Amino acid sequence: MLIHLRAQLIEVIAKSLKGFFDGLTVPSVEVDVPDDKSHGDFSTNIAMKSTKLLKRPPLETAAAFREAILQGLKDAGIHDKIEKVEVFKPGFINFYLSTSAVYEILEQTLREKDQYGKSDFGNDRKINIEFVSANPTGPLSVAHARQAAVGDALANIFNFIGFQAVKEYYVNDEGNQINILGQSVYLRALERLGQKEDFPADCYQGQYIYEMADTLLAGKKIKTVQQLKALSSEMIRQFAVDYLLSVIKEELKDFGVSFDVWSHQSKVAGEEQITETLSDLQKRGYIYEQDGALWFKTTQYGDDKDRVVRKSDGSYTYFMPDIVYHKDKFRRGFEKVFNLWGPDHHGYIPRLTAAVQALGQPKEALRVLIVQLATLFRDGQEVQMSTRRGQYITLREVIEEVGVDAARFFFLMRLVDAHLDFDLALAKKETPENPVYYIQYGHARTYSIEEKAKIAGLNPQLKNFKNLQGEEELDLLKKIGRFPTILLFCWRQADVFALVNYLQELAGMFHRFYDRKRVVDPDHPDISAERLALVEASRIVMANGLRLLGVSTPQKM
């Protein structure tokens, strides 16, 4: 409702002011939401933008504009939604919503319920969002956990505003790391059979390799070294990848994250597809040979230097299958693909962006989001981690220590590309310092109020409001009205932080309302019914928001 009204305002303003410009082009009209509510619900800077063109002081222009806009609002038939229009200091023209317009927000929310905030903004466009994509060589770490929380929430939001967002996990099931993984399992299996060999430092050191070895031996009913040696290394590799993928899937499931598509490098970027793509790129002049290797001219699209795709020994760099994989994504019809990467990969962005353009896509078709690492703290002390020695905090441990809700919420509390300090002790505290519970508590409160109302025989009203006149009530309603806009902003920013922030503010306004206005009051059933409607609308938005974040909505706390 507010999105629509804002669009109407822009239209009306542009139309009403045409006469002032006498053939000159009207500056583009911007309508913003002021920080300070005393400056109205909407505001435009059009008068100040016009000072130069019209050669008149902004306040004078604004006053004249105001008259024309008032007339324009009448002509457009939306004057009943705007209570007043005022001119302010440097030259702002501010619009104040009428209470009837505010009540429309309430009616809409109650009508649309769990669909409130949904839109067709995305126009069913297909987008892909690839995240986590950890190599299947061990359990998921906290770094993956943050990516999982962000990627899942982003996809939820994008789907809600009308995109067809596909969540995708790219499985690196080939290459050096997988060879080493297979070797690690093989050596541990030998050890279990009594033949202890040197365990190289570059092999995977974690305890889980033993468990895999045990599972392998039991599954294949292997009792002797001879039987083990009869297994092909290919078979062991396959076993290891499958085993770890099922572990990863289980961890993600417990974190509430599921993927729509699992793409395996061995399938989408095998030898055949690589050869095909490579010769295609060669034909189109993107590849040249030097020092026995094949190079991709990524500098043509702004990379610092060209990149090797096939080494002089004939094997491919990681870049090559990645190009093929992204070609595959676009072949599947995605208009835009998002990749969530760790900060250590940021140097890789220019070359992949170049490749995407060489594949004939516009630069914007690929959007890489660098998800910064979370530094874990426990009681103010940084938790030291070392991936090399297999000593890192896993997703599993975070879930067990602080729970899914707190973990997911904390990972979303900052912009994705900003460092995040994650205090484990704080996240599991059930005290006011912990922001997760603030919103959930607000949600739970709505249930307890509605329960009390039911006992008193009171029901929420659905229309014809007139008693919601308090500042707390109108502020809360207007905030509820911003929810759809916030979701669109999340798309524009490619970040969920704005939603987290919004929900905290919304919960704050709800708590304030609760503190100051008695809802359940059998002596005043009319007022109670209207306030109950506001409680329900608040609950709807808190629930819709938390659901998009992947955080649960408790009815009791």
Partner RNA sequence: GCGCCUGUAGCUCAGUUGGAUAGAGCAACAGCCUUCUAAGCUGUGGGCCGCACGUUCGAUUCGUGCCAGGCGCGCCA
List the interface residues with RNA, window 507-526 (CB under 7 A): 508, 511-512, 514-520
Residues 83-102 that bind RNA (CB under 7 A): 88-92, 94
Shortest reach from residue 485's CB to RNA, in Å? 8
Cβ neighbours for 486, distance < 8 A, ≥ 6 positions apart:
498, 499, 502
Number of residues that make up the chain: 557
**Could you tell me which stretch among 2-10, 44-52, 243-251, 356-364 binds RNA (CB under 7 A)?**
44-52
Shortest reach from residue 210's CB to RNA, in Å? 23
Cβ neighbours for 250, distance < 8 A, ≥ 6 positions apart:
none
35 lines the binding site for RNA (CB under 7 A): yes
- Answer yes or no: are the C-beta atoms of 317 and 309 closer than 8 Å: yes
51 lines the binding site for RNA (CB under 7 A): yes
Q: Which among 58, 116, 100 has a CA at the least distance from the CA of 482?
A: 116
Q: How many C-beta neighbours within 10 Å does residue 178 have?
A: 22
Q: Which among 373, 366, 367, 383 has a CA at the least distance from the CA of 414?
A: 373
308 lines the binding site for RNA (CB under 7 A): yes
Residues 487-506 that bind RNA (CB under 7 A): 489, 492-493, 497, 501, 504
**Could you tell me which stretch among 12-20, 154-162, 220-228, 418-426 binds RNA (CB under 7 A)?**
418-426
379 lines the binding site for RNA (CB under 7 A): no
Residues 276-305 that bind RNA (CB under 7 A): 290-293, 304
Cβ neighbours for 276, distance < 8 A, ≥ 6 positions apart:
none
Residues 312-351 that bind RNA (CB under 7 A): 312-313, 315-319, 343-348
Site size for RNA, by CB under 7 A?
Answer: 87
Q: Which among 239, 344, 322, 324 has a CA at the least distance from the CA of 275?
A: 324
271 lines the binding site for RNA (CB under 7 A): no
In the bound state with RNA, the residue whose beta carbon lies nearer, of 103 and 510, is 510
220 lines the binding site for RNA (CB under 7 A): no
In the bound state with RNA, the residue whose beta carbon lies nearer, of 32 and 197, is 32
User: Among positive and negative, which fits the CA dihedral 376, 382, 387, 389?
Assistant: negative
Tell me how far apart the terminal alpha carbons of the chain are, to the nearest angstrom: 33
Which residues of 336-409 form beta strands (DSSP E)?
336-341, 366-370, 374-378, 381-382
Cβ neighbours for 131, distance < 8 A, ≥ 6 positions apart:
147, 148, 150, 151, 152, 167, 168, 169, 338, 339, 340, 371
β-strand pairing of 31-32 with 42-44: antiparallel
In the bound state with RNA, the residue whose beta carbon lies nearer, of 176 and 279, is 176
Among 20, 204, 437, 483, binds RNA (CB under 7 A): 437
Helix (H, G, I), strand (E, B) or coil at 459: coil
In the bound state with RNA, the residue whose beta carbon lies nearer, of 411 and 497, is 497
Among 45, 183, 184, 353, binds RNA (CB under 7 A): 45
In the bound state with RNA, the residue whose beta carbon lies nearer, of 258 and 318, is 318
DSSP string spanning 403-414? -HHHHHHHHTSS
311 lines the binding site for RNA (CB under 7 A): yes
Cβ neighbours for 35, distance < 8 A, ≥ 6 positions apart:
none
In the bound state with RNA, the residue whose beta carbon lies nearer, of 52 and 463, is 52
Residues 439-468 that bind RNA (CB under 7 A): 441, 444-445, 447-449, 451-452
Q: Which among 114, 234, 124 has a CA at the least distance from the CA of 178?
A: 234
**Could you tell me which stretch among 163-171, 189-197, 205-213, 433-441 binds RNA (CB under 7 A)?**
433-441
Q: Residue 545 and residue 535: Cα distance in Å, rounded? A: 15
In the bound state with RNA, the residue whose beta carbon lies nearer, of 159 and 177, is 177
Residues 157-186 that bind RNA (CB under 7 A): 172, 175-177
Among 99, 135, 159, 215, binds RNA (CB under 7 A): 135
Residues 59-88 that bind RNA (CB under 7 A): 88
Shortest reach from residue 205's CB to RNA, in Å? 18
Shortest reach from residue 196's CB to RNA, in Å? 28
Cβ neighbours for 183, distance < 8 A, ≥ 6 positions apart:
200, 203, 233
474 lines the binding site for RNA (CB under 7 A): no
Per-residue x/- track, 227-266, RNA (CB under 7 A)? ----------------------------------------
Shortest reach from residue 42's CB to RNA, in Å? 8
In the bound state with RNA, the residue whose beta carbon lies nearer, of 40 and 550, is 40
**Could you tell me which stretch among 11-19, 33-41, 116-124, 383-391 binds RNA (CB under 7 A)?**
33-41
DSSP string spanning 119-150? --TTTT-EEEEE-----SSS--BHHHHHHHHH
